[in-house]
A and B are shown apart, each in its own frame.
Chain A
Amino acid sequence: MGASSKGYSAYMLAVGASGWVILLWLLVRRWEQGVGVSLVWEGGFFLGLAVLVGLQPVRLPRGATTTVGFAVDYACLLIFGPAVAAVIGVISFAVLLRRSPWLRQFFNQGQVILSFAGAGLVYEALGGRYVQLSAERVPFGELVPALLVCGVVSFTISSLLISVAIAQWERRRVTGVWAVSFRWTAPRFLALAPFGLLMAMVYQAPGLGIVAVGLFLVPLVGARYAFQGAMEMLEVHRETVWALSNALEAYDPYTRNHSELVTRYAMGIGRQLELPAVRLEILEWACRLHDIGKCRQDWETIIRKPGKPSRREWEVIRQHPVEGSRLAEKMEFLPHTAGEVARIVRSHHERLDGSGYPDGLSGEAIALEARILGVADAFEAMTARRAYKRRKDTQEAIEELRRCSGSQFDARVVEALVVLWERGELEVEPSLEQVSAPQPVASRVREPAGQAAGGGG
């Protein structure tokens, strides 16, 4: 936070305050249009729905939450107009965010009011009418352009307001943040907005309204539970694969913590190069799994043998990225980006000038993530404390990387690493340097005399 904290707070306050001013104006306007008893109890019904849905958020990976409440919110807008919809939105947000800091709550109230107000005004300007305020049935079929524009406006306002807040908080560019959040929220919007529209349409059915809306809610809630299950499984899957692939290398003094450190360096470079979150996620998976192709009994003998490897052994070495990508393909699961991780694992030993293996790719044909992984991998290999090699200090390693940038490494990636180094973000705490592999609680492995294994860190 630091320096940006003032701007951030000011922004959050401004959005919240302007939202509340607009809400007051909307409410006065609504009052002049007349308020009946039916508004109270029908609005109350929808408020109940919104709160119910808000009480059951779906937890997304990495701490974010979302609800399927957007469908209810959109239906409220089309039924009651922006004033009532904004009130319902504010209350349901208050329920959803009841444990958040007040500034965030205040900002989100403002954000939801502004997005409803904007959407409602545009909808009205294009000839749209609201179910509750209209004497006869609203012909939604003829209002399709207005509905579309209204949906787009509401989505744009709220995603922009949120992106600016995140960009200020994380000190990143708004466009980058917005592109990422757009990719994440647009599908949800596309799925839920028609849902809300349908709810508003069937709500007009005389004598059926509330029953029909209730019927819509059942599949929505069912989908929410399945989706929650999927999100939990995603988290469990990540946790499991990373823990176990770590364990596979943890007991070998030659590879202990290699992937852990490579991941840390590569993620630092990736953030420095402002990769979007989706790409960072792919990069992280690739880093965790990049050496998985080395899991074979004869690997150590081949690698540790003094002198040049034989032709067969060289073939084995060259094949490890291929083998690794085959395995990674079986293990990764990232929606919408299947196969990317495997592709990066496959080319992490490619060189910029085309002299790498296994495919001899060159330049831009090597994915950026693979170039990052290649630099991080080489840097870790040079600086790690290994039994067979003197450990280079960071200065020497950086010089070596710089010497080879342009031929072996991407200069841009190397420079990003240098920036990290200058900022002191490459320091590795001693706990990670020596680290321990999981050991049984009771006793440690007793090594028989004359065994070479163990030791190391």
Chain B
Amino acid sequence: MGGPMGGRRLWLKLYVGATIAAGAAALAATAHQWSRMELGVAELALFIGLAGILDAMVVPVAGGGAMAASFAVFFGGVLALGAQPTAWVAALAVMWSEAVVRRRPLPRACFNASHSVLSLLAAGWVYRALGAQVGWVELTAGWPAGWPAVVAAAVVLWALETGWASVAVALERGGRLWRRLRSWLGPGLAWDGGLASVGLLLALLYQSRWQLVGHSGWQGALLLGATVLIPSALLYYAYRLQGSLQQVYSQSLRTLGSLLEAKVEGSQPGHGERVARLAARLAESLELPPRDVEQIRYAAYLHDIGKVGVPSTLLARNPDRLSAEPEAVRLHAQIGAAILSPIRFLQPAAQFVTSHHERWDGLGYPQGLRQKQIPLGARVLALADAYVGLTHSPLPPLPLSQTLSLLQQAAGSRFDPELVAEVMGTDLARRDLTCGPFFEPDDGVEAAAPETSLHSAESAAA
């Protein structure tokens, strides 16, 4: 692996290693304070149990990464138990849920536990530095009472937890850090905001030793558990439902796209999926927001759907690379748009489908748009479509170097020169672009179509 990708990987390893080392050191440093802490085994067990359960409630984030509901217990712990015991709680709970329950690789589990420990210690420090007392949150006596310390601790804990993981994702997948952070911000705020409230509630109930609500002993513990688990579970259920629906949606479009390929004469199995993969990667490297990347992906799955409306005998002709198509075939762009137009959610994608045969010099169809008049998504789609057409066609496919030089020749006439430069300038050009991202297994495309061993030599050399 050459260049930026290799460099980034090294940085990722260093970053993960440093985090684990720092986390372990911090945890060890707090160990000697154990004797001074007045904590019962039952209380610790309750917190560890709750954190362990909530840490298994994980929802994915659009730009990559995931959020766990254990944030509630961590935050509540900082206020009620103090940062050091909570750090131990977090370490145990995260290691248990990551390494034992979800069977994640050990370095990853250690990394997640470590950044939680470090974030918790920092949040605890901020909480005490603002004059608040561990074990007693004062919210009602004398405005603003304990609110500034509580809010500051929540913000610090949230920002560090999120930031720590975002850096790892940015190192793993590329792209600028602040874009990654931004994609976490929207859904993350509602999620972690809700959980922070639950955490505060936990601290308030705990500090009264459960007397507040008229119960003590195991009844109180049960009540405390319910207070934390019920709202978190509700939040988790709603987020999970939303996330799984988005996945199902994407999969349905993928399936429909493959059906289209099965039905339309002369189309190449797996074409839409390859184009989708490449176009999405291009869009990501242009740092478009996740929502736009998704629409480009959807458009790619369906970009040739208009061909169901073109007589099959016209489509079956021998495809001649990059040459003009008969007019009836050209209509597929508009037919595709007409098919997609009733679906309001897919309006951006429909626009990309309409214009995916426009050319940078204005000689394309159907409208003869030029340059920036063509939507960016359509320009990305056109480039990806052409690339995949060249490298995965029934004709003997072109070698990568030749493909790239063809694309380069067409920059400024057919394609957006900046986009072509983007392809050439990044590590995208060094590998077969239609394969999956580096760290994720390639799922299914290769099975769909017999792969030419075209790029294996180059991959091996790189």
Which residues of chain A have a CB within 8 Å of any CB of chain B?
137-141, 191, 194-195, 198, 201-202, 204-208, 211-212, 215-227, 229-230, 233-234, 236-237, 239-241, 243-245, 247-248, 250-251, 292, 295-297, 327, 330-331, 333, 335, 437-443, 445-448, 451, 453-454
The reply to whether B214 and A204 form a contact with Cβ atoms under 8 Å apart is: yes
Question: Taking A437-B309, A445-B310 as contacts, is the C-beta distance between A243 and B212 under 8 angstroms?
Answer: no
12 further A-B contacts with Cβ under 8 Å, apart from A141-B219, A202-B213, A440-B337, are: A140-B213, A198-B226, A198-B230, A220-B231, A222-B238, A225-B190, A226-B239, A229-B242, A237-B245, A295-B259, A443-B331, A454-B311
Can you list 12 A-B contacts (CB < 8 A)?
A: A141-B223, A201-B223, A202-B201, A208-B139, A219-B235, A227-B238, A230-B241, A251-B309, A292-B259, A296-B263, A447-B311, A448-B314
Instruction: Kindly state whether residue B256 has any CB partner on chain A within 8 Å.
Output: yes
Binds A, one of B246-254, B276-284, B375-383, B398-406: B246-254
- Specify which chain A residues have a CB less than 8 angstroms from the CB of B183 in the assembled complex: none
Question: B242 and A222: CB pair below 8 A?
Answer: no
Which B residues between 263 and 298 are near A, CB-CB below 8 angstroms? 263-265
Q: Check B135 for interface membership: any CB of A closer than 8 A.
A: no
Q: Which residue of B lies closest to A333 (CB)?
A: B248
**B259/A205 in contact, CB under 8 A:** no
Cα A226 to Cα B17 in complex, Å, equals 36
Given A218-B193, A218-B194, A445-B309, decide whether A212 and B249 contact each other with a Cβ distance below 8 A: no
Tell me the bound Cα distance from A247 to B232 in angstroms. Answer: 42
Residues B262 and A204 in contact, CB atoms below 8 Å apart: no
The answer to whether residues A219 and B195 also contact, given A198-B230, A236-B249 and a CB cut-off of 8 A, is yes
Contact B343 A335 (CB under 8 A): no
Q: Which residues of A contact B196 (CB under 8 A)?
A: 218
B13 at the interface (CB under 8 A from A): no
Residue of B nearest to A192 (CB): B234
* Contact present for B339 and A205 (CB under 8 Å): no
How far in angstroms is the closest Cβ of chain A from B36?
29
List A contacts of B213 (CB < 8 A): 137, 140, 201-202, 204-205
A333 vs B327: C-alpha distance in the bound complex, in angstroms? 39
Contacts A223-B238, A226-B235, A445-B311; A233 near B245 (Cβ below 8 A)? yes
Return chain B residues, CB-CB under 8 Å to A454: 311
Of residues 113 through 167 on chain B, the ones whose CB sits less than 8 Å from some CB of chain A are 139-141
Which A residues lie within 8 Å of B230 (CB)? 191, 194-195, 198
Selected from B200, B208, B232, the residue in CB contact (under 8 A) with A205 is B208
Is B194 a contact partner of A219 (Cβ separation < 8 A)? yes
Contact-size category for B: 35 or more
A195-B252 in contact (CB<8A): no
Give B197-208 as 1s and 0s: 1 = Cβ < 8 Å from A's Cβ atoms.
Answer: 110110011001
Q: In the complex, what's the smallest C-beta–C-beta distance from B228 to chain A, in angstroms?
A: 10
- Alpha-carbon distance A358/B140, docked complex (angstroms): 70
Chain A nearest CB from B270 CB (Å) reads: 15
Q: By the criterion CB–CB under 8 Å, are A230 and B223 in contact?
A: no
Return B379 CB to nearest CB of chain A, in Å. Answer: 21
List the B side residues contacting A243 at CB < 8 Å: 339-340, 342-343
Determine whether B112 belongs to the interface, using a CB cutoff of 8 Å to chain A: no
Closest to A204 in B: B213
Docked pose: A330 CA to B338 CA in angstroms: 25
**CB–CB B241/A226 < 8 A:** yes
Q: What is the chain A residue whose CB lies nearest that of B249?
A: A237
Residue of B nearest to A246 (CB): B339
In the complex, whether B89 has a CB less than 8 A from a CB of chain A is no
Instruction: Name A195's closest neighbour in chain B (CB-CB).
Output: B230
Contact A240 B231 (CB under 8 A): no
A224 to B238, CA, bound (A): 8
Q: Is the CB of B305 within 8 A of A247?
A: yes
Q: Is the CB of B235 within 8 A of A327?
A: no
Contacts of B263 in A (CB 8 A): 248, 295-297
**Smallest Cβ-Cβ distance to A208: which chain B residue:** B204
Contacts of A448 in B (CB 8 A): 311, 313-314, 328
What are the residues of chain B within 8 A of A226 when measuring CB–CB?
Answer: 190, 235, 238-239, 241-242
A208 to B212, CA, bound (A): 9
Q: Smallest CB–CB gap between B226 and chain A, Å?
A: 6
A290 → B minimal CB distance (Å): 14
How far is the CB of B86 from the nearest CB of chain A, in Å? Answer: 19
Cα–Cα, bound, A248→B248 (Å): 20
- Contact call B241/A227, Cβ cutoff below 8 A: yes
Q: Does B366 touch A at the CB level, under 8 Å?
A: yes
Would you call A137 and B214 a contact (CB within 8 A)? Answer: yes
B237 & A237 in contact (Cβ 8 Å cutoff): no
Q: For the complex, give the distance between the alpha carbons of A269 and B255 in Å.
A: 30
Contact partners of A442 in chain B: CB under 8 A: 334, 366
Given A227-B238, A236-B345, A327-B255, verify A453-B313 contact (CB < 8 Å): yes
Question: Are the C-beta atoms of A247 and B140 separated by less than 8 Å?
Answer: no
Bound CA–CA A227/B194 (angstroms): 14
Is B459 part of the binding interface, using a Cβ–Cβ cutoff of 8 Å? no
**CB-nearest residue of chain B to A296:** B262
Name the contact of A215 in the complex, choosing from B197, B239, B262, B339 (C-beta under 8 A): B197
A248 with B234: CB separation less than 8 A: no
B215 within 8 A of A: yes
Shortest distance from the beta carbon of B263 to any chain A beta carbon, whole Å: 4
Q: Cβ of A204 and Cβ of B345 under 8 Å apart? A: no
Q: Which residues of B contact A195 (CB under 8 A)?
A: 230-231, 234
State A156–B40 Cα separation when bound (angstroms).
Answer: 44
One of B194, B234, B260 near A191 (C-beta < 8 A)? B234
Tell me the complex Cα distance, A443–B308, Å.
16
The answer for the CA separation of A335 and B241 in the assembled complex, in Å, is 9
B371 within 8 A of A: no
Q: Is there an interface contact between B308 and A248, defined as CB atoms closer than 8 Å?
A: yes
Which residue from chain B places its CB closest to the CB of A206 in the assembled complex? B212
What's the Cα separation between A35 and B369 when bound, in Å?
A: 73
**Bound-state Cα–Cα, A208 to B208, Å:** 11
- Nearest 9 A/B pairs, CB to CB: A440-B334, A219-B194, A222-B194, A226-B238, A218-B197, A438-B338, A453-B311, A205-B212, A219-B231
| Among B140, B194, B198: residue with most chain A CB under 10 A | B194
Query: Is the C-beta of B335 less than 8 angstroms from some C-beta in chain A?
Result: yes
Let me know if B227 is at the binding interface, CB within 8 A.
yes
* B444 → A minimal CB distance (Å): 11
**In the complex, B302 has a CB within 8 A of chain A:** yes
- Contact present for A216 and B231 (CB under 8 Å): yes
Contact A245 B256, beta carbon cutoff 8 Å: yes
A140 to chain B, nearest CB (A): 7
Nearest CB in chain B: distance from A324 CB, A: 10
A221 to B194, CA, bound (A): 8
Nearest CB in chain A: distance from B302 CB, A: 7
Contacts of A333 in B (CB 8 A): 245, 248, 252
Report which of B190, B214, B233, B339 forms a contact with A222, defined as CB distance below 8 A.
Answer: B190
- CB contacts (< 8 Å) of A212 on chain B: these are 201, 204
* Given A208-B204, A211-B140, A438-B338, A297 contacting B265 (CB threshold 8 A): yes
Cα-based distance from A234 to B205 in the complex (angstroms): 38
What is the distance, in angstroms, from A317's C-beta to the closest C-beta of chain B?
16
Q: Residue of B at shortest CB range from A221?
A: B194
Select the residue from B196, B204, B223, B309 with max chain A CB neighbours within 10 A: B309
For residue B184, CB closer than 8 A to chain A, the reply is no
Known contacts A215-B198, A216-B231, A440-B338; is-contact A223 B237 (Cβ 8 Å)? yes
Residues of the A chain whose Cβ atoms lie less than 8 Å from the Cβ of B232 = 219
* CB-based contact A331/B252 at 8 Å: yes
Known: A202-B213, A208-B139. A440 touches B331 (CB 8 A): yes
- Write the nearest CB–CB distance from B137 to chain A, whole angstroms: 10
B-side contacts of A241, CB under 8 Å? 252, 256
A251-B308 contact, Cβ under 8 Å, with A219-B197, A222-B235: yes
Minimum CB–CB distance for B89 against chain A, Å: 21
Contact (A438, B309) CB under 8 Å given A207-B140, A208-B139: yes
